[in-house]
Amino acid sequence: MSNTKALPLPEPAEAAGAAQPCCPPLTERPFTAQEAETAARMFKALGDPVRLRLFSAVASHEGGEACVCDISDVGVSQPTVSHHLKKLKEAGLLTSERRGTWVYYRVEPSVLAATGRLLTMTPATG
């Protein structure tokens, strides 16, 4: 007889630290102090070449998510990869979900769209 108990997996939106869209386009209006903090955290996280490679690996991975075991070949040790993934999560760029012994990372579509809009030029109205 087994003492194993199946635990329900949280939905991605319910996961702790779920990524949220950042900010309005730079050309829409001046940022609030909070929006500027959020955008700066995001840009700082992406300013590291290893983090940018990891972010790209997750974003471009088949199925829209990647196991850490599939993306850790970026020229640094596994603990360093984990550190960089943590920084990307803290910046709101990634979400993660543990499945057994592996952690799967995802870039939420709303975050990718908002990140793209952030640097998009919008035509002036008036």
pLDDT digits (tens, 9 = 90+) for 1-27: 444 444 343 344 334 444 455 677 788
Rounded Cα gap, residues 80 and 4, in angstroms:
33
Mean of the per-residue pLDDT values for the chain?
79
- Higher pLDDT pick, 36 / 8: 36
Q: Taking the model in full, what pTM does it have?
A: 0.72
Cα 115–chain centre separation: 11
- Higher pLDDT pick, 79 / 116: 79
Q: 104, 72 in Cβ contact below 8 A?
A: no
Neighbouring CB atoms inside 10 A of 22's CB total 21
